[in-house]
A and B are shown apart, each in its own frame.
Chain A
Amino acid sequence: MQEDKINSNESEGVFNDFIDEKISDMIDEVLNEGNLETLGDRGSEIVVEIDDITVPTFSYGDEGEGQGGGQGPGREGGKIRFNLPFNKFMALLAEKLKLPNLTKEGKGKIKEVSYEFKTFGPVGVILDRKRTFKRSLRTSIGVGSYDPAHGKYTVEFLRRDKRFKVPQRVEKPKFKAVVFYMGDISYSTHGQRLASEKRMVNFIKNWLDYNYGARNVDHRFFVHDVKAYEVQENEFYRVGNVGGTRAAIVFELIYQIAFGEYDTATTNYYGFYFGDGEIFGSDGQEIVNILKDNICPIFNRVGVVEVFPSQWSKLIVELEREFAVDGIVRMSRYRSNADTITTIKKLFADSEQGS
Chain B
Amino acid sequence: MKLVKTDPILHELESRVIWHAKNMGRTLPEIRFFILDRIEFASLLEKHVYPTSPINMWEGKRMVTKKFNIESGQESSLYYEVVQTGNPSYAYLNNTNSPMTQASVMAHVVGHCEFSELNVLQDSNPDRTEYVMHLVKKVNMGQQQMGEKNYLEFWNAAESVIPLIAPHSQFNLDRSVEDESFRYHETEKEDLVTPTQKMMKPFSHTMDVLLQHDSLEVVWKKEQTKKDQQEQISRRGFRLRQPCQDILGFLRRYAPTSQAEKAILDYMYVSHATHDFVRRSQIMNEGWAMYWEKKIMLNLFAENAVKGIIDYAKVFSGVCSPRPFFMRNPYHLGYHLWNHIEELYRDGKVDLDFIEETDQQKRELWKKPGTTEPLAAMEHLVRTITDYEFLRRFLTDELVETFHLNRIPKFYVNRMGLNKDAIIRDDDHYVWIAPQPVKEEMLTFFTHFQRPRIYLIDTDFIDGGLLLFHRDDNHKLRKDWIRPTLKNVNYIWKGAVSLISGGALYSFSNNRLSEKSLPDSTFEQVLERMKKSEKPFIA
C-alpha spacing A71/B57, complex, angstroms: 13
Contacts of A5 in B (CB 8 A): 1, 40
**Chain B residue nearest in CB terms to A5:** B1
Contact B58 A55 (CB under 8 A): yes
Tell whether A293 is near chain B: CB-to-CB under 8 Å. Answer: no
Contact B477 A59 (CB under 8 A): yes
A8, A13, A56, A72, most chain B CB atoms within 10 A: A8
Contact B60 A16 (CB under 8 A): yes
Contact B57 A15 (CB under 8 A): yes
Considering only residues 48-65 of chain A, those with a C-beta below 8 Å from chain B are 53, 55-64
Contact A68 B485 (CB under 8 A): yes
Tell whether A112 is near chain B: CB-to-CB under 8 Å. Answer: no
Contacts of A6 in B (CB 8 A): 1, 36, 40, 43-44, 47, 51-52
C-alpha spacing A174/B501, complex, angstroms: 68
Tell whether A18 is near chain B: CB-to-CB under 8 Å. Answer: yes
Contact A68 B483 (CB under 8 A): yes
Contacts of A61 in B (CB 8 A): 478
Tell whether B126 is near chain A: CB-to-CB under 8 Å. Answer: no
User: Which of B154-162, B222-230, B301-309 forms contacts with chain A?
Assistant: B154-162
Contact B64 A16 (CB under 8 A): yes
Tell whether B214 is near chain A: CB-to-CB under 8 Å. Answer: no
Contacts of A70 in B (CB 8 A): 484, 487-488, 491
Among A4, A13, A53, the residue within 8 A (CB) of B1 is A4
Contact B484 A67 (CB under 8 A): yes
Contact A3 B482 (CB under 8 A): no
Considering only residues 180-224 of chain A, those with a C-beta below 8 Å from chain B are none
Majority SS at the chain B contact face: helix
Contact bitstring B142-184, A, C-beta under 8 A = 1, else 0: 0000000000111011011011100000000000000000000
Tell whether B61 is near chain A: CB-to-CB under 8 Å. Answer: yes
Tell whether B470 is near chain A: CB-to-CB under 8 Å. Answer: yes
Contact B479 A63 (CB under 8 A): yes
How distant is A82 from chain B, measured CB to nearest CB, in Å? 8
Contact A12 B480 (CB under 8 A): no
Tell whether B81 is near chain A: CB-to-CB under 8 Å. Answer: no
Contacts of B475 in A (CB 8 A): 60
**Chain A residue nearest in CB terms to B450:** A60
Contact A3 B52 (CB under 8 A): yes
Q: How large is the interface on B (under 10, 10 to 19, 20 to 34, 35 or more residues)?
A: 35 or more
Contact B40 A60 (CB under 8 A): no
Among A3, A15, A56, the residue within 8 A (CB) of B61 is A15
Contacts of A58 in B (CB 8 A): 163-164, 452, 454, 470, 477-478, 481-482, 485, 499
Contact A56 B481 (CB under 8 A): yes
Among A55, A59, A67, the residue within 8 A (CB) of B156 is A55
Contact A7 B477 (CB under 8 A): no
Contacts of A1 in B (CB 8 A): 1, 32, 34, 51
C-alpha spacing A43/B162, complex, angstroms: 44
Tell whether B476 is near chain A: CB-to-CB under 8 Å. Answer: yes
Contact A72 B60 (CB under 8 A): no
Contacts of B484 in A (CB 8 A): 56, 67-70, 74
Tell whether B63 is near chain A: CB-to-CB under 8 Å. Answer: yes
C-alpha spacing A3/B160, complex, angstroms: 29
C-alpha spacing A61/B34, complex, angstroms: 40
Contact A11 B63 (CB under 8 A): yes
How distant is B170 from chain A, measured CB to nearest CB, in Å? 20
Tell whether A73 is near chain B: CB-to-CB under 8 Å. Answer: yes
C-alpha spacing A28/B232, complex, angstroms: 55
Tell whether A10 is near chain B: CB-to-CB under 8 Å. Answer: yes
Contact B160 A12 (CB under 8 A): no
B39, B61, B163, B452, most chain A CB atoms within 10 A: B61
How distant is A311 from chain B, measured CB to nearest CB, in Å? 53
Tell whether A14 is near chain B: CB-to-CB under 8 Å. Answer: yes
Tell whether B339 is near chain A: CB-to-CB under 8 Å. Answer: no
Contact A11 B1 (CB under 8 A): no
**Chain B residue nearest in CB terms to A17:** B57
Contacts of B32 in A (CB 8 A): 1
Tell whether B271 is near chain A: CB-to-CB under 8 Å. Answer: no
Tell whether B53 is near chain A: CB-to-CB under 8 Å. Answer: yes
Tell whether B55 is near chain A: CB-to-CB under 8 Å. Answer: yes
Among B157, B163, B164, B478, the residue within 8 A (CB) of A63 is B478
Contact A14 B57 (CB under 8 A): yes
Decide: A57 near B485, CB < 8 A? Known: A16-B64, A68-B480.
yes
**Chain A residue nearest in CB terms to B54:** A11
Count chain A residues whose beta carbon lies closer than 8 angstroms to a beta carbon of B.
Answer: 35
Contact A73 B1 (CB under 8 A): no
Considering only residues 20-44 of chain A, those with a C-beta below 8 Å from chain B are none
Contact B39 A7 (CB under 8 A): yes
Decide: A73 near B156, CB < 8 A? Known: A15-B61, A62-B478.
yes
**Chain A residue nearest in CB terms to B478:** A61
Decide: A18 near B57, CB < 8 A? Known: A57-B160, A71-B156, A71-B488.
yes
Contact bitstring A58-93, B, C-beta under 8 A = 1, else 0: 111111101111111110000000000000000000
Tell whether B59 is near chain A: CB-to-CB under 8 Å. Answer: yes
C-alpha spacing A172/B460, complex, angstroms: 73
Contact bitstring B221-242, A, C-beta under 8 A = 1, else 0: 0000000000000000000000
Decide: A11 near B157, CB < 8 A? Known: A56-B488, A68-B485, A69-B484.
no
Tell whether B396 is near chain A: CB-to-CB under 8 Å. Answer: no
How distant is A137 from chain B, measured CB to nearest CB, in Å? 24
Contacts of B58 in A (CB 8 A): 11, 55, 73
Tell whether B56 is near chain A: CB-to-CB under 8 Å. Answer: yes
Tell whether B46 is near chain A: CB-to-CB under 8 Å. Answer: yes
Contact A71 B163 (CB under 8 A): no
Contact B478 A59 (CB under 8 A): yes
Tell whether B451 is near chain A: CB-to-CB under 8 Å. Answer: yes
Contact B476 A67 (CB under 8 A): no
Contact B160 A56 (CB under 8 A): yes
C-alpha spacing A224/B36, complex, angstroms: 68
How distant is B1 from chain A, measured CB to nearest CB, in Å? 6
Decide: A72 near B156, CB < 8 A? Known: A5-B1, A55-B58, A57-B163.
yes
Decide: A59 near B481, CB < 8 A? Known: A3-B1, A11-B63, A12-B60.
yes
Contacts of A64 in B (CB 8 A): 478, 480
C-alpha spacing A221/B152, complex, angstroms: 52
C-alpha spacing A68/B481, complex, angstroms: 6
Decide: A74 near B64, CB < 8 A? Known: A3-B52, A8-B46, A55-B58.
no
Contacts of B154 in A (CB 8 A): 71
C-alpha spacing A11/B66, complex, angstroms: 13
How distant is A198 from chain B, measured CB to nearest CB, in Å? 34
Contacts of B163 in A (CB 8 A): 57-59
Contact B491 A60 (CB under 8 A): no
B43, B470, B475, most chain A CB atoms within 10 A: B43
Contact A60 B477 (CB under 8 A): yes
Among A13, A69, A71, A74, the residue within 8 A (CB) of B60 is A13
Contact bitstring B12-33, A, C-beta under 8 A = 1, else 0: 0000000000000000000010
Contact B476 A10 (CB under 8 A): no
C-alpha spacing A55/B164, complex, angstroms: 13
How distant is B485 from chain A, measured CB to nearest CB, in Å? 5
Contact bitstring B481-515, A, C-beta under 8 A = 1, else 0: 11111011001000000010000000000000000
**Chain A residue nearest in CB terms to B2:** A4
Contacts of A14 in B (CB 8 A): 55-57, 60, 152
C-alpha spacing A8/B52, complex, angstroms: 9
Query: 3 closest A-B pairs (Cβ-Cβ)?
Result: A68-B484, A15-B60, A11-B60
Given contacts A16-B60, A64-B480, could you give 20 more A-B pairs where the C-beta distance is less than 8 Å?
A1-B1, A3-B1, A6-B51, A8-B59, A11-B63, A12-B59, A14-B56, A14-B152, A16-B64, A58-B163, A58-B485, A58-B499, A59-B452, A60-B475, A60-B476, A61-B478, A70-B484, A71-B157, A73-B57, A74-B481
Q: What are 6 pairs between A and B in contact, CB < 8 Å?
A: A3-B1, A3-B52, A11-B53, A55-B160, A67-B483, A71-B488
